């Protein structure tokens, strides 16, 4: 009896090793994202964009079987830490991704890097990890926080505005956003206000804007906050008096559908648009609509690109991540994939250099409201921190 | 000067809006002795009801009715299924159960409507703004909220002080057993009272809908403020809720409007903006702490005996 057990064990061990070479364990990818609160649709779209790329290959990325674990952080850093600990220690995740908000990134990313895993950001990329604090295993598939808003500053210049009122929530990404806008905007700042994260009532801020009498207003209020502000701003009759020039985070497809007419006339900058004419984007937009029955937002495009970036590196290493860290890292750096935004190139600090598009929301003759691409406002835009990063 | 007046009006408007939410909360909390964290969920049900029925019918009035009915029914269902098992248990159990209700309701709404915020606009009749001071246009809809808030305050006052139902409610809160012995069906009364609280939450949600994003979890943001209001005002006191709500609204608004500018008199503008924003989000909690030190039972304490 003993013999039989032993030989069976031996036999299965042999067959396991043989199987391992042919059919490796799936690579585990941990996604910590925001699926609840007013920003729940941001994480939902990042997740769905990412999973679309996985399902296109039938559960694989770059020919390697992957297992994607998804959890909701509820926009709370404490939850982010708990989930990251679980993913890294218990589930032995090799690649992490997903964080939406820049108050959670500074918690999750260091834990990930310390555990020897890779992090590929589909959204948040705060300044602290772009300059001196850059890391070789930390990659960004979206943008550096500031550049999102730097492009809005450039657009505002091109539109000829000489004076702007600016506001953002009082947290890391909010501060990055105002710093980014001011870095490129050449006009004067008529006033600057920090609001609460998740604020619902903006009457006080709107009265201040009217009192300051600026030529235009820039704000960074993503998700539900942007909807709250836009509804109240347009009801106060200020939308046409002091036009809005914002970044895509404050004007996406879902915000448009929730405020409808109040969005018309708002100008914004983005690195991706549903209207981009490249093949990868057409396939993505069609595939997304077919799979989920809704138009993808910019967040969905970022989730999709993050997955494609990971796929390109997995393909290069044949599915090895921890086993071939150097190979995986240099493959990520090459970013050899067809991005939905057209071209995709990483700067020395592992943040992409994007082309930024100027857009305007218009109402078509048939009543539909669309965000039209008007022009390109910046090409191959490198963020302000890359030069301080020691990476090559 | 005009700006100060306008900001005070903004504060009053926010206060009245908070009163709409807190009125139902203080009724349930004070009279029935139940901590209902799910009050924010009823607020959300109201907003979703308003958005859904307005889109379906094209009329905000029907949407508003739909909101009141759906919030009221949800409240009654909650009371029958869960709340009535909690009256005799301690507050920790109530917090746990109603917290569970928040999670449950949020998930259910996500399943029914998805995560995309719904569209709900100001009804055409209340659209636009009127000049209240020279050069200052104020949105008509915000004035309408003030009007509705005053109506609700009056209505509640009349119900509680002038009707037989109000008398029973007051009696039931003071000595539940005695009222039951006198032949009043206290169970049904509490179910209806909880439903009434839910209707008020639904009304607040429907009124908020055109101003804010109709989204999952929208109630929790308001719930904390509503609790601050009830605690400042004195738990169970409708008058206290009104005064507390106005205090919170005005202090919060004026803090956001002027604190950063005030600090700029003493320090450089970058740190003034940061500290001002931080302080203004703390202002109402600091006020609550001060009021509770001076009057531990709130501004208008209700003398209720519990057993």
Q: Of the candidates A323, A385, A71, A38, which has an alpha carbon nearest to the alpha carbon of residue A199?
A: A38
Tell me, what's the pLDDT at B266? 85
Task: Check residues B303 and B153 and name the one with the higher pLDDT.
Answer: B153
Percent of chain B with pLDDT over 90: 55
DSSP class of B117: P
B97: three-class secondary structure by DSSP = helix
How many angstroms separate the CA atoms of A175 and A169, rounded? 8
Of the residues A79, A175, A201, the best mutation for testing chain B's interface (the one with the most B CB atoms within 10 Å of its CB) is A201
How high does pLDDT run on average in chain B? 89
Of the residues B118, B221, B225, the best mutation for testing chain A's interface (the one with the most A CB atoms within 10 Å of its CB) is B221
Tell me, what's the pLDDT at B165? 84
Annotate A45-70 with three-state secondary structure.
HHHHHHHHHHHHCCCEECCEEEEEEE
Q: How many residues does chain B have?
A: 307
A2 has pLDDT over 60? no
Q: For residues A215-238, give the mean pLDDT.
A: 93
B122 has pLDDT over 60? yes
Is the Cβ pair B141, A235 closer than 8 Å?
yes
The pLDDT tens digits of the residues spanning B215-259 come to 998 998 889 999 999 999 988 888 899 999 999 999 999 999 998
Is the Cβ pair A235, B127 closer than 8 Å?
yes
For the ranges A5-19, B193-207, B264-278, the one whose mean pLDDT is highest: B193-207
Q: For residues A299-318, give the mean pLDDT.
A: 96
Contact A311, A61 (CB under 8 A): yes
Q: For residues B125-145, give the mean pLDDT.
A: 87
Tell me, what's the pLDDT at B276? 85
Tell me, what's the pLDDT at A15? 46
Q: For residues A285-290, give the mean pLDDT.
A: 96
A21 has pLDDT over 70? no
- Which residue on chain A is closest to B259 by alpha carbon? A193
Of A38-47, A298-307, B126-135, the least confident: B126-135
Percent of chain A with pLDDT over 70: 94
How high does pLDDT run on average in chain A? 91
Given CB atoms, is A192 within the 8 Å cutoff of chain B?
Answer: yes
A172 has pLDDT over 90? no
Is the Cβ pair B212, A201 closer than 8 Å?
yes
Question: Which of B6, B117, B142 has the CB atom closest to A224's CB atom?
Answer: B117
The pLDDT tens digits of the residues spanning A338-351 come to 999 999 999 999 99
In degrees and rounded to multiples of 5, residue A27 shows phi and psi of -75, 130
* ipTM confidence: 0.87
Question: Which of B115, B129, B141 has the CB atom closest to A41's CB atom?
Answer: B115
Q: Could you give the C-alpha distances from B186 to A16, A285, B168, B251, in angstroms and in order?
A: 69, 58, 9, 39
Contact A105, A124 (CB under 8 A): yes
The pLDDT tens digits of the residues spanning A50-63 come to 999 999 999 999 99
């Amino acid at each position: 009896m003993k013999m039989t057990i032993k030989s069976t064990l031996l036999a299965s061990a042999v067959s396991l090793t043989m199987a391992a070479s042919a059919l490796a364990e799936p690579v585990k990818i941990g996604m910590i994202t925001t699926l609840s609160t007013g920003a729940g649709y941001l994480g939902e779209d990042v997740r769905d964009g990412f999973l679309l790329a996985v399902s296109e290959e039938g559960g694989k990325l770059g020919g390697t079987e992957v297992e994607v674990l998804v959890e909701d952080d509820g926009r709370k850093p404490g939850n982010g830490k708990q989930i990251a600990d679980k993913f890294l220690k218990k589930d032995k995740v090799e690649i992490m991704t997903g964080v939406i908000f820049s108050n959670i990134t500074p918690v999750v990313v260091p834990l990930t890097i310390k555990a020897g895993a890779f992090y590929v950001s589909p959204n948040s990329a705060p300044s602290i990890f772009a300059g001196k604090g850059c890391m070789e295993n930390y990659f960004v598939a979206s943008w550096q926080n500031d550049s999102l808003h730097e492009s809005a500053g450039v657009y505002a210049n091109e539109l000829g505005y000489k004076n702007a009122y600016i506001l953002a929530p009082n947290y890391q990404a909010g501060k990055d956003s105002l710093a980014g806008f001011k870095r490129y905007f050449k006009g004067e700042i008529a006033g600057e206000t920090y609001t609460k994260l998740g604020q619902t009532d903006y009457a006080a801020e709107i009265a201040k804007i009217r009192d300051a009498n600026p030529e235009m207003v820039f704000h960074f209020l993503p998700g539900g906050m942007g909807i709250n502000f836009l509804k109240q701003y347009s009801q106060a009759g200020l939308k046409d008096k002091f036009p809005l020039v914002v970044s895509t985070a404050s004007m996406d497809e879902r915000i448009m559908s929730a405020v409808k007419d109040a969005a018309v006339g708002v100008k914004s900058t983005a690195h991706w648009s549903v209207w981009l004419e490249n093949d990868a984007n057409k396939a993505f937009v069609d595939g997304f609509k077919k799979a989920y029955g809704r138009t993808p937002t910019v967040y969905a495009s970022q989730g999709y690109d993050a997955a494609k970036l990971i796929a390109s590196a997995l393909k290069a290493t044949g599915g090895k991540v921890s086993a071939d860290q150097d190979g995986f890292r240099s493959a990520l750096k090459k970013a050899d994939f067809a991005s939905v935004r057209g071209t995709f190139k990483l700067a020395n600090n592992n943040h992409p250099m994007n082309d930024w598009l100027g857009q305007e929301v218009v109402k078509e003759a048939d009543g539909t409201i669309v965000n039209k691409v008007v022009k390109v406002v910046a090409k191959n835009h490198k963020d302000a921190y890359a030069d301080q990063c020691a990476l090559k | 000067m005009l700006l100060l007046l306008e900001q005070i009006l903004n504060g009053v408007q926010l206060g009245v809006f908070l009163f709409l939410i807190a009125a139902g909360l203080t009724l349930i909390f004070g009279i029935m002795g139940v901590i209902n964290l799910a009050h924010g969920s009823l607020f959300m049900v109201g907003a979703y009801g308003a958005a859904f029925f307005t889109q379906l019918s094209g009329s905000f009035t029907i949407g508003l009715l739909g909101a009141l009915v759906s919030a009221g029914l949800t409240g009654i269902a909650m009371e029958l299924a869960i709340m009535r098992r909690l009256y005799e248990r301690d507050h920790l159990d109530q917090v746990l159960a109603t917290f569970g209700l928040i999670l449950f309701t949020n998930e259910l709404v996500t399943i029914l409507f998805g995560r995309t915020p719904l569209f709900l606009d100001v009804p055409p009749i209340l659209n636009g703004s009127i000049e209240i001071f020279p050069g200052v246009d104020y949105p008509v809809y915000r004035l309408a909220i003030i009007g509705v808030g005053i109506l609700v305050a009056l209505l509640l006052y009349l119900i509680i002080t002038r009707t037989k139902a109000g008398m029973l409610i007051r009696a039931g809160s003071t000595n539940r057993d005695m009222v039951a012995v006198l032949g009043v069906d206290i169970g049904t009364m509490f179910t209806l009272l909880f439903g009434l609280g839910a209707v008020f939450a639904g009304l607040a949600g429907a009124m908020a809908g055109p101003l804010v994003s109709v989204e999952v979890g929208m109630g929790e943001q308001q719930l904390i403020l509503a609790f601050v209001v009830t605690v400042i005002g004195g738990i169970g006191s409708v008058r206290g809720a009104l005064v507390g709500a106005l205090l919170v609204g005005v202090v919060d608004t004026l803090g956001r409007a002027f604190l950063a500018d005030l600090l700029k008199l003493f320090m450089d503008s970058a740190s003034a903006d940061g500290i001002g924003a931080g302080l203004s989000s703390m202002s109402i909690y600091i006020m609550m702490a001060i009021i509770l030190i001076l009057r531990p039972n709130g501004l208008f304490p209700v003398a209720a005996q519990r057993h």
